[in-house]
A and B are shown apart, each in its own frame.
Chain A
Amino acid sequence: MSAKPLPPNWESRLRFVRKSQENVEQRELSIPLSNGHEYILFLRRNKLSPLDFSIGLVFKDSDGMEYLLRRHNGAHPSKHTNEYEKRKGLPNAKLPVCFHRHIATERYQTAGLRIDGYAERANDYNDLQGAQDAMIHEAGFILPRDGGLQYRMLDEEEEEN
Chain B
Amino acid sequence: MVSQEIIRAFKESACGEIDLSSSGLNRYLVDVPFTFTDGDHFVVILRQEDQKWVLSDEGHTFMHLSYDLRDKEYEKGNRRKKIDEVLAQYQIEDKNGELILTIPEGRYGDALFTFVQAITRITDISFLERELVKDTFREDFNALVANKSKEVGIRNVNFGYTHPTFDPQRKYPIDARLNGSPSQQIFVFGIGNNDQCQTATIILYQWEKWQERFQSIAIFRDQTEINKTYLARFSDVAGRQLSSLDSAKERLPRYFTELLTR
Jot down 5 A-B pairs with beta carbons below 8 A, ordered by A.
Answer: A22-B96, A71-B38, A76-B60, A78-B32, A78-B43
Q: Given A83-B39, A102-B38, A48 and B229 touching (CB < 8 A)?
A: no
The 5 A-B residue pairs with the shortest CB-CB distance in the complex, in nearest-first order: A23-B97, A78-B41, A161-B227, A23-B59, A48-B59
Alpha-carbon distance between A158 and B228 when the two chains are bound, in angstroms: 7
B220 sits at the interface (CB 8 A): no
**Residues in A neighbouring B98, C-beta threshold 8 A:** 23, 48
The reply to whether the CB of A80 lies closer than 8 angstroms to some CB of chain B is yes
Query: In whole angstroms, what is the CA distance A68 to B70 when docked?
Result: 11
List residues 113-141 of chain A with CB under 8 A from any CB of chain B: 113-114, 116-119
Q: What is the CB-to-nearest-CB distance from B45 to chain A, in angstroms, rounded to a whole number?
A: 7
**B interface residue numbers (CB < 8 A to A):** 23, 29, 31-33, 35, 37-45, 58-60, 62-63, 66-68, 70, 72, 96-98, 194, 225-230
Query: Which residue, B39, B43, B225, has most C-beta atoms of chain A within 10 A?
Result: B39
Instruction: Give CA–CA (A79, B227) in the complex, Å.
Output: 39
Q: Which of A40, A79, A114 has the most CB of B within 10 A?
A: A79
Please tell me the size bucket of the interface on A. 35 or more
Asked if B228 contacts A160 (CB within 8 A), the reply is yes
Contact in complex: A52, B63 (CB < 8 Å): yes
Question: Could you tell me the distance between the alpha carbons of A24 and B75 in the complex, rounded to whole angstroms?
Answer: 12
A83-115 contacts to B (CB < 8 Å): 83, 97, 102, 113-114
Give the distance to chain B from A112, nearest Cβ to Cβ, in Å: 11
Contact call A78/B44, Cβ cutoff below 8 A: yes
| CA of A154 to CA of B44, assembled, Å | 41
| CB-based contact B40/A44 at 8 Å | no
